[in-house]
Amino acid sequence: MDKKTLSHDGTPLAYGRTGQGPTVVLVPGAMSTGGTVAPLAEPLSDRFSVVVYDRRGRGESGDTTPYAVEREVEDLAALIAANGGDAALCGISSGGALVLEAAASGLPLRQVAVYETPFADFSEHGAKERAEYTENLTAALAAGRRGDAVELFLRLTGMADEMIQAARRSPMWPGMEAAAPSLAYDDAVLGDGLVPRDRLASITVPVLAVAGGASPDWLREATRAVAEAAPKGSYRSLEGQTHMVDPNALAPVLADFFTR
């Protein structure tokens, strides 16, 4: 990240910009930084000015307590203001929940796209699992047990125990622990974990909700529900893709949507 701007509360935000054309801001999900979504910026940069950034509390960006979802919406407002005052947003995974909230808050946006925001409406025991995760995550972070917090998140994503233990032994683990407090931010952005239909109904700009054709049924149905709840929503499925979407499969769909 070679650029910095300040959010409304003074939090420094690190970001990078590549390409030329209308501005598109990519919003990463949990345990992710701007670098995570940079591979998606590359195939978009021949038609758009693509902004990637580290969300507050991770990467090279700062943080200011107490946290509130509104502060992250203000972060996006600051990024948009620093990059021409008008943008489209694309949120990946839980980053999609932030993008949808930003749109509902009335930021100056052209369009909004999300990829597989993990609302749990169609997951068996989804709401119960989400509530238990919130409770256990809050307790782990309050006790300073960052490794346990990361483990809770990985288990929520469906990672097997043996893979979690392998991750704990990997060189990546210290960085994951460092980012653990930001897991509470994504949890807050997702709210009760269910599709916020009333909030989505207030969005006035076009919304594209994209899912992977090889993803679990509950993720695809949740994505479809987002499109149905937004007045100008549309749904796309990418054949053969999963939650770890190939940037080169997603980019053409986004480019088509953002140039309409």
Residues 149 and 200 in one domain: no
Tell whether the model's pLDDT for residue 62 goes beyond 90: yes
Going by pLDDT thresholds of 50, 70 and 90, the confidence category of residue 171 is very high
Among 187, 207, 223, residue at a domain's last position: 187
What mean pLDDT is reported for the chain? 96
Q: 133 and 116, same structural domain?
A: no
Distance CA 225, CA 236 (A): 12
How crowded is residue 155: how many other Cβ atoms within 10 Å of its Cβ?
A: 15
pLDDT band at 1 (very low <50, low <70, confident <90, very high): confident
For 212-254, write each residue's pLDDT tens digit.
999 999 999 999 999 999 999 999 999 999 999 999 999 999 9
Q: Which of 172, 187, 202 is the last residue of a domain?
A: 187
This prediction's pTM: 0.95
Q: In this structure, are 56 and 139 located in the same domain?
A: no
CA dihedral 149, 67, 208, 59 (to 10 degrees): -60
Domain boundary pick from 149, 172, 187: 187
pLDDT band at 158 (very low <50, low <70, confident <90, very high): confident
Q: Are residues 171 and 223 in the same domain?
A: no
Q: Is residue 182 domain-shared with residue 200, that is, in the same domain? A: no
Are residues 112 and 131 both part of a single domain? no
pLDDT attached to residue 93: 97
Give me the CATH number covering residue 69.
3.40.50.1820
Give residue 233's pLDDT.
98
Q: Please, which pLDDT band fits residue 124 given cuts at 50, 70 and 90? A: confident
Predicted local confidence at residue 153, as pLDDT: 96
In this prediction, residue 112 has a pLDDT band, given cuts at 50, 70 and 90, of very high
Report the pLDDT value the prediction gives residue 193, as an integer from 0 to 100. Answer: 92
Q: How confident is the model at residue 144 (pLDDT cuts 50, 70, 90)?
A: very high
Please tell me the total count of domains within the chain. 2
Looking at the predicted structure, is the pLDDT value of residue 13 above 90? yes
pLDDT at 97: 98
Closest to 210 (Cα-Cα) out of 99, 98, 119, 115 = 115
Residues 6 or more apart in contact with residue 244 via CB below 8 angstroms: none
Give the domain range for residue 149: 126-187
Residue 123: pLDDT above 90?
Answer: no
Asked whether residue 11 falls in the same domain as residue 85, the answer is: yes
| CB-count exposure of residue 110 (10 Å: 0-12, 13-18, 19+) | middle
Do both 55 and 109 map to the same domain?
yes
Assess whether 65 and 148 both reside in one domain: no
Q: Same domain for 207 and 238?
A: yes
Residue 93 and residue 15 share a domain: yes
pLDDT for residue 125: 76
- Contacts of residue 174, Cβ cutoff 8 Å, sequence gap at least 6: none
Beta-bridge partner residues of 234: 208
Residue 128 reports pLDDT greater than 90: no
Q: Is there a single domain that holds both residue 34 and residue 103?
A: yes
% of the chain residues with pLDDT over 70 = 100
